[in-house]
Structures are given as C-alpha cells and as structure tokens.
Structure 1
Amino acid sequence: MGDDETGHGFDHIQRVVSLADKLVREYPAANRVLTVTAAYLHDVIDEKLVEDTAAASAEVRDFLTQQGFSAADSDTVFLIMDNMSYHKTIDGTAKPLPLEGQIVQDADRLDAIGAIGISRAIYFGGHFGEKIYDPAVKPRTSMTHAEYRNLDNETIINHFYEKLLKLKDLMNTDAAKRVAEHRQQVMLDFLAEYKAEWNAQA
C-alpha cells in the first residue's frame, strides 16, 4: 500500500493497527495476534484497491502459512477481511464477524471519521476527480453496491451524509463508540462551517 494515493496507504494501515491494538486491550476474550494481523492486512485484497483480488488473496494466504498461521487462524483473518467493508453492509452480504473482526472494523471506521476522516475523504475524492460540493446534488439515501461505487453521482461533501456520518452508529464495541462520539462532532462542526463559508455567512 506504499504507493496508494486514495487515502488507504500505509499511514492508514498503521493508524488502524494502532487503534485496533488499543481497542483489543479492553476485550481480553479477543485474540490480539489475529486482531492485529487482520488490521495490517485488511485492505490488501479490497476490490477498490486491488485489480486481481483472487491473486492477492492467494498471496496473502501463502504469506500467513509461511508465518506459521494455522489454516483455522488464516480462515479467521480472511473472514474478517472479506466481511468488514462498508459495501457489504449496504448489500447485506456481510457474514457475522468474530470479536477480533468487530474490533478491526471499528478501528477502520474510526479512521474514516473525525479530522483524519475529513482529510481522507477530500484526498480520495480529489484523486478520482469528484466535485467538492454542489448544493443542487442531494445526498443519495438508498444505494446498491454498484451505485455506492459510482463516484459520478457523488460529491465529496455528500459522502459525509451517504456514509461517514452513519459510521458512529455502526460501531460494534463500546470502546469504539466512545471515540466515535467526539469524531462525529468534529465532522458536524466542519460541515456547518463549510456550508456557512460556501454561502458567505462566515
């Protein structure tokens, strides 16, 4: 992910790992090694970042085997990677995540909101040439997977309403919910200020 220019680079990975490692310490029942491993690998087979997901998956499985992971532990890591993405929530295909996966999903979603989330949303949208804002384009309220991936119908500001502001209520763990409360307010304050400046009211 070192060459990523969409907001999913190694800096994002490192933050998700740090958040997951912080969260997992509040849940002794969770396997810390599997949690941190899944956090490191959570984006490396993502359809929006990898052209050949099958080849990427095979490479990851080989890597885990070389590192001494059992087949069962590798299956758990893949279960997490395959079912934690937001688009799986949209189309209802996500399988239930074990506690380790819930923690990694929370960490990933926490990095999508707050001040970091704001900067990543702008960075991602700019990379794909999205319009920043158009008051005439209203946020989409119901989307299929294909519509969610269609950036032609999205603005960067609308992405907050279509996804980012929803993440707080989708957190799995109480520990993540506490962090999300503050980050949610950061985004709400940003949007209020942005629109006030857009309308020359601030």
Structure 2
Amino acid sequence: MPIAHWQERFEEYLHHNWLQDDKAHDVAHFRRVWKTAQQIMETTEADWLVVLTACYFHDIVNLPKNHPERHLASTQAAQETLRILDAHFPDFPRTLYDAIAHAVRAHSFSAQIAPQTLEAKIVQDADRLESLGAIGLARVFYISGSLGRPLFDSEDPLACGRELDDSTYALDHFQKKLLKLPESMQTEAGRKLAWLNADFLVNYMAKLCAELKGDYCGIDRGVVEQFASPKQSS
C-alpha cells in the first residue's frame, strides 16, 4: 500500500476518533513532524512506514507539561498506538509494531529514552524541530499561555541575576531547553536544521531585549554573541 494512503487513513481515523484541545499537539502538528521527517530521511535507508506511523501517533497520549506523570506520556502513547493499530488497522504489518512503539517512546524529551534505531532517531529529531524556529516560537507562547504563565520577567528577561524558571516565565524555556536541542539531535540533517532554527530564536531574544531597553529599531548584539550557534559565532 502506498505510504500516502496510510497517511490518509491515519488522518481520517484521528479526525473521527481523537478528541483533544491542545492545538500545539494536534493533527496539524503530526503532519508537520512527518513532513520534517521526510526531509531528514531522504538519503537514508529508514523504514518510511515506521516513521510515518510514529509521527502520526507519537502524541496520541499527551499529558500537560505541568502534569506529574508527564515523563510517562510517551510510554502510554506507545501502548495506545499499538492498541489502535490492532483494533482499527488489522492489515497493518504487525512485524513493525516493536519498531513503532520504540520510536514513539523515545521521541519524548521528558522521558529521556535514548533512540536505538534510525527510525526512532529521525522521529525524535523531527519532533524536536517543532520546538525551534517560527513554529517553535508560536508553540512555546501558546503552551505557556494555556498554563497561565507570564511571557517573561521584564526586569531580568534572560535571568542574568536569578535562576532560570520556565515553570514561571515562558522566555526562560528558551535557555532551559530549546537552545540546547541542537546538541541533542541524532542525525546530521536534523542537527543542521536545528542550529538554523535555534538562531531564529536567538534573534527573537535579541530583538525583545532591545525593545525592553526602548530600542524598537535594532537588536541587542550582545544577546546574539552570547547565544549564537557555533557556526554563527565562529
């Protein structure tokens, strides 16, 4: 069966059977992760059906970021993925179940499960790229807003004189997690894309800091120098 047909079937199932209100982890998110994954695995020998399936079901169980069992969500998602495949897609190759379950479990940042297969590495990279660039910028403030967190500390936006606390300030999440993601990428293609999109976030931080100082036309060059990727700063 063509890979595009499986994608259509998965989307149809999700639209009719999966109800959730988190627009940062919706079907559009799955579609974008799959699109990114295709770009990463273009020149690899990865199993496209494993990657597609993991991309479309990796957040089928998604606990809020402030949930005490957040780190267990990907394991629960893996179990639910196999249940759905067994119940609703009886013609799906069962020989791929283990590979899909591992890719779903390992995608999560909070679970801290190291990906052992090429497919799991691709899915993890593709999902983490959603946290960077323009999409990542939109998602971090959407999620923080839904949790009622302030955008940033106006007096110390980059936490120069305090501890970083992304459970309080949305902007702190940039340093706490997002700007560290490029170093965690599992594939060379994913790493290149991650550094490029992390630099976008750095430039946003530099623009924000300039505006907080009353400069609405420039950026804070010191912020760029401090946080730019190795390639940019070399």
TM bucket by the smaller chain? Answer: 0.7 to 0.9
- Rounded Cα–Cα distance in structure 1 between residues aligned with 2:58 and 2:77: 12
The answer on whether the counterparts of 2:81 and 2:101 sit within 8 Å (CA) in structure 1 is no
The answer on whether the counterparts of 1:139 and 1:162 sit within 8 Å (CA) in structure 2 is yes
CA positional deviation for 1:70: 4.2
Paired AA for residue 81 in structure 2: V
Change in CA separation of 1:63 and 1:77 when aligned onto 2, cut-off 3 Å: same
* Structure ID, larger Rg: 2
- Rounded Cα–Cα distance in structure 2 between residues aligned with 1:191 and 1:125: 16
The aligned counterpart of 2:171 is 157
* Aligned: 1:44 with 2:69: no
Give the % identical residues: 29
* Aligned: 1:5 with 2:22: yes
1:41-93 deviations in whole A, cap 9, x for unaligned? 1111234389996886554323223343344411211111112211123xxxx
The aligned counterpart of 2:194 is 180
The aligned counterpart of 1:139 is 164
The answer on whether the counterparts of 2:125 and 2:190 sit within 8 Å (CA) in structure 1 is yes
The aligned counterpart of 2:5 is none
The aligned counterpart of 2:4 is none
Which runs of no fewer than 5 residues in structure 2 stay unpaired? 1-17, 217-234
The aligned counterpart of 1:73 is 96
**1:50-65 map, 5 Å:** 59-65=80-86
The answer on whether the counterparts of 2:60 and 2:80 sit within 8 Å (CA) in structure 1 is no
The aligned counterpart of 1:120 is 139
Query: Which of 169, 190, 207 is residue 193 of structure 1 equivalent to?
Result: 207
1:121-173 deviations in whole A, cap 9, x for unaligned? 01000011011111265315xxxxxxxxxx6x331100001111111111111
Higher relative contact order (CA 8 A, sep 6+): 1
- Rounded Cα–Cα distance in structure 1 between residues aligned with 2:59 and 2:175: 23
- Rounded Cα–Cα distance in structure 1 between residues aligned with 2:193 and 2:104: 23
- Rounded Cα–Cα distance in structure 1 between residues aligned with 2:60 and 2:170: 24
The aligned counterpart of 1:145 is none
- Rounded Cα–Cα distance in structure 2 between residues aligned with 1:165 and 1:20: 20
CA positional deviation for 1:32: 0.8
Which runs of no fewer than 5 residues in structure 1 stay unpaired? 141-150
Query: Which of 97, 103, 108 is residue 85 of structure 1 equivalent to?
Result: 108
Aligned residues: 186
